[in-house]
Amino acid sequence: MTNKDKLKISEEAKNFLESEHLLFIDGEWKQSSSGEKIPVFDPATEEKIAEVQSGTTKDIDLAVNAAREALSGEWANIPSHDRAQILHRLSDEIEANFSVLSELEVLDNGMPLELAQYSIASHGVTLLRYYASWAPKIHGKTIPVSPGGAMNGESLTYTKREPIGVVGAIIPWNSPLIFAILKLAPALAAGCTVVLKPAELTPLTALYFGHLIEKSGIPKGVVNIVTGLGETAGDALAKHNDVDKITFTGSTEVGKKIVSSSINNLKKVTLELGGKSPVIVFDDADLEKTIPGVARACFFLQGQNCMAGTRVFVHEDIHDELVAGVKSMAESFQIGHGLIQTNDFGPLISGDQRKRVMKYIKQGISEGATLVCGGNEVNDRGYFIEPTIFTDVTGEMSIAKEEIFGPVLCIEKFSNESLEEIAKRANKTTYGLSGSVWTNDISTGHKMAALIDSGQVSINCHAAVDSAIPFGGNKQSGWGREFGEEGLDSYLKTKATTVMY
């Protein structure tokens, strides 16, 4: 009996896993030009659950050409109101296929089922409907100017907002379906066409999503999906001279390669990259709320989360109580397969990722940090690591400076330093993505939030995400913003027209 049978996977999910997975190019499902396949594994069992096509430079070229043709075809002539209705239909398809999408997301990524369901319902569907509502609101302005000395009334200048063009979207493995939707929703609302390259570790929900795109009425060629390796398909997409914009979510290291690859035709680039987010807890914080907030900030998605609050700075007066509370929560997590609903802590994505995290845990111990709990691999099968907490951490330790992307929490004390001194410690990192402040003094909260050099800061919560809240990083955490009106803006370009009469 296979693990798929033991886990009581639905017939629809089983049938999809056992089907042939092809590339979606110009409205058709096609074999890759290489004929090669990439195995897909369930990270909770290490069992191969599917194979997908290994797309090549030639396949990317076909997809980009299809997107270019579609940009000036039927899609360009669809009124914005009708474009909005298409996106609403796509969100309806997600709702109708909610259960199977949730199962596939768990099998592909390893996240707990409850988290997959929450993400799809609260972010996937909502994002599509949010950007659908923006489509009819994209408009330009008239500008009262007199260029070239024209007298008032002798000229008219107006602007139009136009789609930026063909978009290459490269998405990560840590929350694959939501990132696919996050890239597609604003791009389609703006009238762009897209070539989507899923992470090779987690391609399944993107491919299932392709079948829903077919049903929604989006014209052929508007969305193309090419599975493949980052160093082949991803690199070819980033370098392609007929791609107008790349939107990428992933590591800072790969983000720098994306920038380098995009230089040839100076394509626009949006990057949402790594993080090492500070969590600052003052002595007046409500620990009943702060302790679970701090635990979730780090251990959400097993720490495989760019927003993860992995660096805690806590006032010495409440240090021990906070540590004890977070330790108790960490040790209460039920570790195991995400499809078993009593489990709330899943595996890391791969064996390589587990090795990376274990290397950092060993470095933390060797550098003199105190291991409070965790630090071990668990279960005979699957890439599981216990939630891990270190105290007595200093800012010079590798576990405090480098993004681990795993369930490792580093705790430092502060005493009576000024807010500026605390901020200096919190900002001593190459990253600047997220952060949070925990205090009952709202004045302190606002002042501290202003001093943290991050694209997003929350007070008495962490990583507040909503379709309407712009999100992105400072420093080496990225370029540009996603979500909200700013997320739509990056898929548009402005044309100014002046008429003299």
Count of other CB atoms within 10 angstroms of residue 6:
12
Annotation marks residue 272 as catalytic: yes
Out of 192, 298, 306, 410, which one is annotated catalytic?
A: 306
State the Rg of the chain over Cα.
Answer: 24
453 CB contacts (<8 Å, ≥6 apart)? 423, 427, 432, 474, 475
Instruction: Using alpha carbons, select from 492, 482, 414 the residue that is nearest to residue 448.
Output: 414
* Cα-based distances in Å from 52 to 23, 35, 123, 161, 372: 8, 10, 26, 38, 42
Residues 298, 304: Cα–Cα separation, whole Å = 9
26: left (phi over 0), alpha (psi -120 to 50) or beta: left
Answer left, alpha or beta for residue 392, where phi above 0 means left and psi between -120 and 50 means alpha: left
Strand (E) or helix (H) holding 130 = helix 125-134
DSSP 8-state secondary structure symbol assigned to residue 335: B
CA 185, CA 189: separation in Å to the nearest integer?
6
Using DSSP's 3-state secondary structure scheme, residue 161 falls into: strand
CA distance 488 to 343: 37
Taking residue 409's Cβ as centre, other Cβ atoms within 10 Å add up to 31
CA dist 181 and 192 (Å) reads: 14
Amino acid in the structure at residue 496: A
Strands 23-25 and 245-249: unpaired
Beta strands in 332-426 (DSSP E): 370-373, 377-378, 384-385, 388-391, 408-414
Closest Cα partner for 260 from 240, 243, 238, 245? 238
Residues in the chain: 501
402 is catalytic: no
DSSP letter, residue 136 = G
Three-class DSSP labels, 353-389? HHHHHHHHHHHHHHCCCEEEECCCEECCCCCEECCEE
| Encoded tokens for 317 | 């007066």
CB burial of 414-437 (b: ≥16 within 10 Å; e: otherwise) equals: beeeeeeebbebbbebebbbbbbb
What is the spatial distance between Cα 25 and Cα 48, in angstroms, rounded to a whole number?
Answer: 26
Catalytic residue among 93, 272, 412, 482: 272
C-alpha neighbours within 13 Å on the C-beta side of residue 131:
33
d(CA 40, CA 38): 7
Residues classed as catalytic = 272, 306
